[in-house]
Amino acid sequence: MSTRRTILLGALLIAAAACTQLRASEAPTSTTPVAIPTGAVSPRGDRQLGFDLNEASDGDFDRAFQLARDAGMERVAFSPSWSMIETGPEEYDSAWLDIAAAYYPAREVTIDLTIMVINANRKEFPADLMERTFDDPLVIDRFERLLEFVFAHLPVSTLGSLNIGSELDISFGVDRESWGEFTTFYAAIVDYVHARQPGLRIATEQTFKGITGPARDLVAALNTHSDLIGVSYYPLDEEGNVQDPAVVHQDMEALVSLYPGQTIYFYQFGYPSSTFLNSSGEKQSRFMVEAFQAWDAHADQVKLIDFTWLHDMPPADVQAIGEYYGIADRKFTEYIASLGLRTYEGEDKMAFRTLVAEAAARGW
Task: Say if strands 159-166 and 202-207 run parallel, antiparallel, or are unpaired.
Answer: parallel
Q: Residue 241 and residue 231: Cα distance in Å, rounded?
A: 20
Listed in sequence order, the residues at least 6 apart from 302 whose beta carbon sits closer than 8 Å to its beta carbon are 47, 252, 255, 256, 264, 266, 295
Burial of 260 (0-12, 13-18, 19+ CB in 10 A): exposed
- Say whether the peptide bond before residue 309 is cis (omega within 30 degrees of 0): yes
pTM: 0.91
Q: What is the pLDDT of residue 328?
A: 85
pLDDT in tens, the chain (364 residues): 555 543 444 444 434 433 333 222 222 333 344 455 667 899 999 999 999 999 999 999 999 999 999 999 999 999 999 999 999 999 999 999 999 999 999 999 999 999 999 999 999 999 999 999 999 999 999 999 999 999 999 999 999 999 999 999 999 999 999 999 999 999 999 999 999 999 999 999 999 999 999 999 999 999 999 999 999 999 999 999 999 999 999 999 999 999 999 999 999 999 999 999 999 999 999 999 999 999 999 999 999 999 999 999 998 898 888 888 888 899 999 999 999 999 999 999 999 999 999 999 999 9
Q: What is the pLDDT of residue 319?
A: 87
Q: Residue 75 and residue 52: Cα distance in Å, rounded?
A: 9
Beta strand segments in 200-278, E: 202-207, 229-233, 264-269
Closest CA to 242 of 200, 289, 287, 198: 287
21 C-beta neighbours (distance < 10 Å), count: 12
Which residue type sits at 164? I
Q: What is the pLDDT of residue 280?
A: 98
Q: What is the pLDDT of residue 1?
A: 59
Closest CA to 355 of 293, 312, 274, 276: 293
Q: Residue 206 and residue 229: Cα distance in Å, rounded?
A: 9
Q: Residue 331 and residue 238: Cα distance in Å, rounded?
A: 11
**Domains defined for the chain, CATH in brackets:** 7-22+39-361 (3.20.20.80)
Closest CA to 24 of 74, 70, 60: 70
Q: What is the pLDDT of residue 2?
A: 54
Q: Residue 230 and residue 238: Cα distance in Å, rounded?
A: 22
